[in-house]
Amino acid sequence: MRRKSGALIPLEVSILEASAEVRRSGQAEVHGYELAKVVRDLRHARRLTAYGTLYKALNRLERQGYLASRWEEPQIAADEGRPRRRFYRLTLEGEIALNEARAEARRTSAGRAAAATVE
């Protein structure tokens, strides 16, 4: 089954949801590890998303224009004695894509419920 260009896979939807969740909590940007934690909580998973899967998905979402990223100033990281962080934020396109994915999920579950009722 062909994946439509720009269509989102479940992990990507979870990442966008996590980004939106973080923004709702008043934080404009979020780094990879923090996103992984929010995704884990949203998906009720036991483990954090694997490194390769998480950063590849972030890379794709950024190329699609759904997320934007920036590296923090090295001096800030150095002052805090930790590696520099890459921060991601949800773009307007990402918000639209997330809303479309949610609407699609609602349509699918409504269709399933209707089919179950008929049966």
Partner 1 sequence: MNAERSAAVVRRWVAAYTRGLPAEVRRDRADEIESDLWSEIADAAAGSGEGAVGKDILVRLLLGMPADIRWRFDQPPGAPGPVPTVGDPTMYARNISMISVIGGAAWAIWIAPAILFGDNAWVGTIGMITMFTLLIGSLGLSLATLGFVFGNIDRLHGIASLLGAIGGGFGLLLAGGVYWGMVLLPVGSAAVMWNLARLRVVSSKLAWAHAGSSVATSLLALPLLTNLIPPASAGVAVFVLLALALEGYALSWIAVGWSLRAGTWMQEEPATT
Binding positions for partner 1, rule: CB under 8 A: 1-6, 9-12, 31-34, 36, 47-57, 59-60, 63-64, 71, 82-86
Round to the nearest angstrom and report the end-to-end CA distance of the chain.
Answer: 26
For partner 1, the closer of residues 42 and 64 by Cβ is: 64
Report the residue number, 26 or 81, with the smaller CB distance to partner 1.
Answer: 81
Whole-angstrom Cα Rg for the chain: 17
Report in angstroms how near the CB of residue 53 gets to partner 1 at its nearest. Answer: 5
* DSSP secondary structure letter of residue 91: -
Q: How far is the CB of 77 from partner 1 (least distance, A)?
A: 8
Cβ count near 23 (within 10 Å): 15
Token pair 């590296």 in the structure block, residue: 71
Contact status, residue 89 vs residue 28, Cβ threshold 8 Å: yes
Q: Which is nearer to partner 1, 23 or 60 (CB)?
A: 60
Least distance to partner 1, CB of residue 58, Å:
9
Nearer to partner 1, 10 or 111 (CB): 10
Residue 10: CB minimum distance to partner 1, A = 8
d(CA 100, CA 65): 15
What's the CA gap between 90 and 22, in Å, rounded? Answer: 10
